[in-house]
Amino acid sequence: MQKPKIAIIGKGNVGKALAFSLCKANYEVIIGARSNSDTDQMLKIGSMDLDYNANIAIHSIPMAISESDVIVIATPPLGAINILQAIKSTKSQNKIYIDATNSISSQVDQSPTVLHYLKENGINKVVKCFNSTGYENMMNPSINGLRLDMPIAGSDVESLKMAKILAEDIGFDVWIFGKDDKVELLEQFALAWINLAIIQGYGREIGIKILKREN
């Protein structure tokens, strides 16, 4: 079965880390950006070169969306306004969208999350995933031999299934937190990681692992 082509909208560390990991898992990836003039920098995180970049292309946001099967939104929340315009201009309303943003400090059009904003504007195949940990864990989702956990949430079954496959393929264990009513909870989950890693000073090399006692 052919793997879907993935677009990642956003050239920040999270987007680039996801591009790295998805290419490592043999996915073809397109990074969607407003400008591709800084191609060399877009394939770096800090001073580190991203390997497996032969399968990474860089295009405009509309082209990245139109050429892909699954679109990961990894921009600040307000970036969803331009992304929605690109979705409509390319008639890509029925593709799968993964909201990897956090509306902790800013919201788009008074919507609680980007997922809600897209759904309010007629985009129904949306799921929340890849928002709850740092980019370091996106590139290396294991600590001391344990696979880290990736919580996901959404009401659309097809999108939820796809996000689960992608997260597992790059090395996470997946926990389904629920439907759309649990999406805001995942943003609080991200805030908990930020609190521990940054505010409490434990550092960015921490991850969350849920353990279940077997009877």
What predicted TM-score, i.e. pTM, was given to this entire model? 0.93
Predicted local distance difference test score (pLDDT) of residue 52? 46
The residues with which 83 forms a beta bridge, in sequence order, are none
97: left (phi over 0), alpha (psi -120 to 50) or beta: beta
Structural domain harbouring 145: 6-199
Predicted local distance difference test score (pLDDT) of residue 43? 61
Whether pLDDT at 51 is above 80: no
Give the separation between CA 17 and CA 20, rounded to whole angstroms: 5
101: left (phi over 0), alpha (psi -120 to 50) or beta: beta
* Contact between 127 and 166 (Cβ < 8 Å): no
* Contact between 128 and 154 (Cβ < 8 Å): yes
Is 212 among the domain residues? no
Question: pLDDT tier at 78 (50, 70, 90 boundaries)?
Answer: very high
Whether pLDDT at 115 is above 60: yes
Is 41 among the domain residues? yes
Q: Could you give the number of structural domains in the chain?
A: 1
Q: How would you classify the pairing of strands 44-45 and 48-49?
A: antiparallel
Is 213 among the domain residues? no
CATH number, domain containing residue 55? 3.40.50.720
Is 210 among the domain residues? no
Give me the amino acid identity at 90.
Answer: T
